[in-house]
Amino acid sequence: MTTEPRRSLAPGAWYALVLVALTNAMSLLDRQILAILAPAIRKDLQIGDAEMGLLYGTVFALFYALFSLPVGRLADGWVRTRLLAISLLFWSAATGLAGLASSFAMLALSRLGVGIGEAATQPAGTSLVYDFWPKHRRGFVMSVMASAIALGLGGSLVLGGVAAGWWDAAHAVGTAPFGLKGWQFAFLVAAAPGFVLAAFLWTLKEPVRGQMDGIETPPEPHPFARSLSLLGSVTPGFHWIGMKGRGASPAMVRGNLIALVLIALAAYGLTQFSTAISPKPAMVLGSVAINPHALQWCVIGLGVFVIVNLMQGMKLGDAQAFRVISRSPTVMMCIAVGTLQSTLNYGMMAFNPSFLIRSYGLSMQETALQFGLLSAGMGIVGPLVWGPLSDWLQQRFPGSGRAWVALFAMAVSPVLSFWVYYAADPGSFYARFLVYSFILTGWMPPLYAIMYDQVLPRMRGLTASLYLLVMTILGMGIGPYVVGLLSDATGSLRTAMLSINTVAIPIAVLMVLIARRAERDEAGLLERAGTSV
């Protein structure tokens, strides 16, 4: 096929973008609402910080990352509008389950379900909107997606704090309908919009895959079989059966086993190191007592092993995708940069409400309204400025325009964070946070646009899944944990939060390298794929 990619929008492009953006907002709202409700949940269920940490990060991150792989593969071969609608229904029901929870186990089941359901959001959503919008507008597209994420993040604080506070104030102890507590009511409110949005997604017309890139993409004959095969190929234990069935060489099997041993040794060493820095009492789950540090690093180790399995499975089952992704230094560096930045962002984000409450004596409701509205507002405005700006610069400086925008945002914001978090009072903090957050929001739209332009249209769901797996396990899984560990060790939450900014150094180095070679790697896409248009 020799047709140049279309430069005009496909019919329904704006409608599709709005629906996918709202899906992203709902994803973050249902995911992050736990943070503002944590004090009330701990009190009512009589559980500790270790159990809340397990709910907030470990349980969600593991299943979110693991299931992003098969649903990402399914997004590359099945009807993406239907996949998003079904996923949204599933995680909304799981969020509603938390509203009925009366035990830690039921809350854990709810978070597990939310993680599985939300796994389709980015792979299917990104792949879908890219077939409505041309390449030169994708920085704007990703800025809208980033703004929606900020809306969901800020909205989770506002909705959670306000809904829970209103319900508890309106109903005296023992008089609430069905015995619901405020935090349970907040979960039910958060779940409701998802059912309505899913109906709109179900009726959205599926676009022609690859139409905006001028790359013909034949339909996948067996999308569900390929999706299940991918899940089996990365699930520890089952993956060995898959390797044998697909003719893996003895050297590949040995490499897999060696990786498992090295990961296990690293997890053990990190457990010992973390325990020495900050000893913790055992966390009791049923009749089993577990060292929280051991649980943390075992989950991270499992995630890293899944990444190894994914790359080996991709090499055996989809050699073209393996070549396109692994032989593009730009793709690999984008994944590394996004992961490091997510380590920083999740580390700060998880403790921002606690920092405000501890440092300035604010209440949960004050923090929810003030910080929630501020972070949501700046998270919406910032990307809508930076995304189009990165598109404009990309037209004038092909290959490097977007990269320099991302570099500016990720290099300057860590420096500003010291100015922000040493503010003397809440007013000063919020004023400084306006500047800091506006600059910080500039990293995501250009980085994602760079990464997804490096692969074929049929591989965008898989690429998003790989990125999500690495970013979730090593970003969400490590960032908040490291900040908490340092806070316990130093006795200063401020010091711990600011220390995580050291990851900005390798981020800046990698972004300079991306700026220098992104255009070259994109030009070599078809050569890596072994195809032509």
HSE of 457 in the Cβ direction (CA atoms, 13 Å)? 25
Task: Classify residue 368 as left (phi > 0), alpha (psi -120 to 50) or beta.
Answer: alpha
Same domain, 408 and 274: no
Residue 421 falls inside a structural domain = yes
Q: What percent of the chain has pLDDT over 90?
A: 28
Distances from the Cα of 95 to the Cα of 29, 157, 163, 264, 372, angstroms: 10, 15, 15, 33, 20
CA pair distance 450, 329, nearest whole angstrom: 12
The 10s digit of each residue's pLDDT in 51-77 is 666 676 677 777 887 787 788 778 888
Residue 456 falls inside a structural domain = yes
Residue 3 falls inside a structural domain = no
The 10s digit of each residue's pLDDT in 102-123 is 887 788 888 888 888 888 888 8
Same domain, 265 and 391: no
Tell me if 441 sits within 8 A of 146, measured CB to CB.
yes
Continuous segment of H or E residues that includes residue 284? strand 283-285
The 10s digit of each residue's pLDDT in 198-224 is 999 999 998 888 777 777 677 777 888
The domain boundary, picked from 270, 292, 317, lies at 317
Give the CATH number of the domain where residue 95 resides. Answer: 1.20.1250.20
> Following DSSP, what letter does each residue of 394-408 receive, concatenated?
HHHSTTTHHHHHHHH
CA pair distance 298, 291, nearest whole angstrom: 11
Same domain, 180 and 261: no
Same domain, 285 and 353: no
The 10s digit of each residue's pLDDT in 119-144 is 888 888 888 888 888 877 877 887 78
Looking at 3-57, which runs of residues are DSSP E strands?
Answer: none
Distances from the Cα of 479 to the Cα of 75, 108, 292, 470, angstroms: 29, 21, 16, 13
More confident of the two residues 400 and 89: 89
Residue 331, pLDDT > 80, answer yes
Same domain, 261 and 117: no
Q: What angle do CA 20, 22, 24 make, to 5 degrees?
A: 70
CA pair distance 45, 48, nearest whole angstrom: 9
Provide the 3-class DSSP secondary structure of residue 443.
coil
Same domain, 409 and 524: yes
Same domain, 306 and 449: no
Tell me if 154 sits within 8 A of 25, measured CB to CB.
no
Q: Are strands 283-285 and 288-290 parallel, antiparallel or unpaired?
A: antiparallel
Same domain, 128 and 184: yes
The 10s digit of each residue's pLDDT in 168-208 is 888 766 666 777 888 899 999 999 999 999 999 999 998 88
Residue 24 falls inside a structural domain = yes
Going by C-alpha positions, the residue among 370, 374, 375 that lies closest to residue 349 is 375
Average of per-residue pLDDT values in the chain: 84
- Residue 4: pLDDT band (50, 70, 90) is very low
* Radius of gyration (C-alpha) of the chain in whole angstroms: 22
Residue 4 falls inside a structural domain = no
- Residue 6: pLDDT band (50, 70, 90) is very low
HSE of 210 in the Cβ direction (CA atoms, 13 Å)? 17
- Residue type at 56 in one-letter notation: Y
395 CB neighbour count, 10 Å cutoff: 11
Residues forming beta bridges with residue 284, ordered by sequence position: 289
Same domain, 166 and 192: yes
Going by C-alpha positions, the residue among 270, 308, 269 that lies closest to residue 482 is 270
Same domain, 112 and 142: yes
CA pair distance 369, 157, nearest whole angstrom: 7
Domain count, the chain: 2
- Residue type at 372 in one-letter notation: G
Residue 270 falls inside a structural domain = yes
pLDDT at 5: 47
Residue 521, pLDDT > 90, answer no
Provide the 3-class DSSP secondary structure of residue 524.
coil
Collect all residues with Cβ–Cβ distance below 8 Å to 514 and sequence separation of at least 6. 330, 333, 334, 337, 403, 406, 450
Distance linking the first and last C-alpha atoms of the chain: 4
pLDDT at 90: 94
Helices (H) and strands (E) in the chain, counts: 24, 2
Residue 46, pLDDT > 60, answer yes
The domain boundary, picked from 274, 297, 317, lies at 317
Q: Which residue range(s) make up the domain with 354?
A: 13-206+318-529
CA pair distance 488, 288, nearest whole angstrom: 25
Same domain, 430 and 503: yes
> Following DSSP, what letter does each residue of 192-254 receive, concatenated?
HHHHHHHHHHHHSPPPPTTTTTT---PPPS-HHHHHHHHHHHHSTTHHHHHHHHTT--HHHHH
Tell me if 516 sits within 8 A of 400, measured CB to CB.
yes
Same domain, 26 and 166: yes
Tokens 């940069």 found at: 337
Write a three-state SS string for 282-315. Answer: CEEECCEEECHHHHHHHHHHHHHHHHHHHHHHHH
Residue 224 falls inside a structural domain = no
Residue 6 falls inside a structural domain = no
pLDDT at 3: 42
The domain boundary, picked from 284, 299, 317, lies at 317
pLDDT at 175: 66
Tell me if 483 sits within 8 A of 496, measured CB to CB.
yes
- Residue 473: pLDDT band (50, 70, 90) is confident
